[in-house]
Amino acid sequence: MKIDGAFNAVDIAISGLKAQNKSMEAISSNVANSRTTDIGNGTPYRRVEAILKAGEGDISGVELDDIAKDMSSFTTVLAPGHPQADANGYLMMPNVDIPVEMMNLNLASRAYQANAAVLKRYQGMVNTSLELLR
Amino acid sequence: MSIDMNMINYLQAGIKAESARQSAIANNMANMQTDGYRKFDVKFAEAFARAVEDGSDFDPQEMEAEFFQPKSGPINEFGNDVNLHAEVGEMVKNSLRHKAFVRILKKTYDQYDLAIQTP
């Protein structure tokens, strides 16, 4: 990402907000699809995770690297009455673990708040400098 | 034209550019969910720096902030490229710049005041 010089800290904090927003989207997709047994091709929903990476240069923002699929195995539950259950009565469920998602949700929203706090504090810092011109 | 007058003109041109950018940001935010909308930005610093570098007599008052559409950002589900976070960041930077310009302008006027009041 391009950092424009004068207010670097603002751009970096905003890149953090954007990145955490993406994490939040991934988590929200996981939670919404935590019981989706068929995504159209007979397999259950596969959990996704937003992979973040640092931008170029020593001081840089963060950017989204990839939305990666979690390749861990699906869970199976016994649900003989379910129309999609196999011959033995087992049903494949998504590899989404709600408690884990809740934990990630906490992390994402705290990180978002932290970025917003940095932005606010930086604004305060510049305002302090501008007070000197009064 | 004296250096001081030049400075006031520069600052005024800067403040005008900030207010143009502010309206671009407001427009972008208002069209956040408009199908196919492409965001606006203001090109000012580059043109201004070039004019100053040339050193020729130019009137900062005449310099119009130029609206343009960068057409580079990722497209969202509405087919437009407005990102709320990016706009908020632009707004923060814009208001800080605006404040800086206004403070410097006031400081400059204060100097005139001082000169007038001195017996």
Residue A77: φ, ψ to 5°: -125, 155
Chain A residues in contact with B88 by the CB 8 A cut-off are 14, 17
Q: How far is A66 from chain B (nearest CA, A)?
A: 14
Judged by CB atoms closer than 8 Å, whether chains meet at A13 and B93 is answered as no
- List chain A domain ranges: 8-131
**CA B84, CA B93: separation in Å to the nearest integer?**
14
**Residue A50 burial by CB count (10 A; 0-12/13-18/19+): exposed, middle or buried?**
buried
**CA A120, CA A15: separation in Å to the nearest integer?**
14
List, for residues A31-86, the tens digit of each pLDDT value.
Answer: 999 999 999 988 999 999 999 999 888 888 999 999 999 999 999 999 999 999 99
Give the SS3 label for residue B119: coil
Among residues B116, B91, B72, the alpha carbon closest in space to that of B22 is found at B91
List, for residues B39-93, the tens digit of each pLDDT value.
Answer: 999 888 777 777 777 766 666 667 777 888 888 778 888 888 899 999 999 999 9
Judged by CB atoms closer than 8 Å, whether chains meet at B92 and A7 is answered as yes
Counted across chains A and B, CB pairs separated by less than 8 A come out at: 42
**CA B7, CA A27: separation in Å to the nearest integer?**
52
pLDDT exceeds cutoff 80 at A111: yes
Answer left, alpha or beta for residue A125, where phi above 0 means left and psi between -120 and 50 means alpha.
Answer: alpha
Q: How far is CA A59 from CA A1, A72, A94, B94, B96, in A?
A: 11, 35, 39, 22, 21
Judged by CB atoms closer than 8 Å, whether chains meet at B96 and A11 is answered as no
Please give the share of chain B, as a percent, with pLDDT higher than 90.
39
Task: Compute the average pLDDT of residues B20-27.
Answer: 94
User: Which residue from A minimizes the CA distance to B87?
Assistant: A14
Task: Compute the average pLDDT of residues B16-39.
Answer: 92
Give residue B13's pLDDT band: very low, low, confident or very high (50, 70, 90).
Answer: confident
Complex-level ipTM: 0.78
- List chain B domain ranges: 3-117
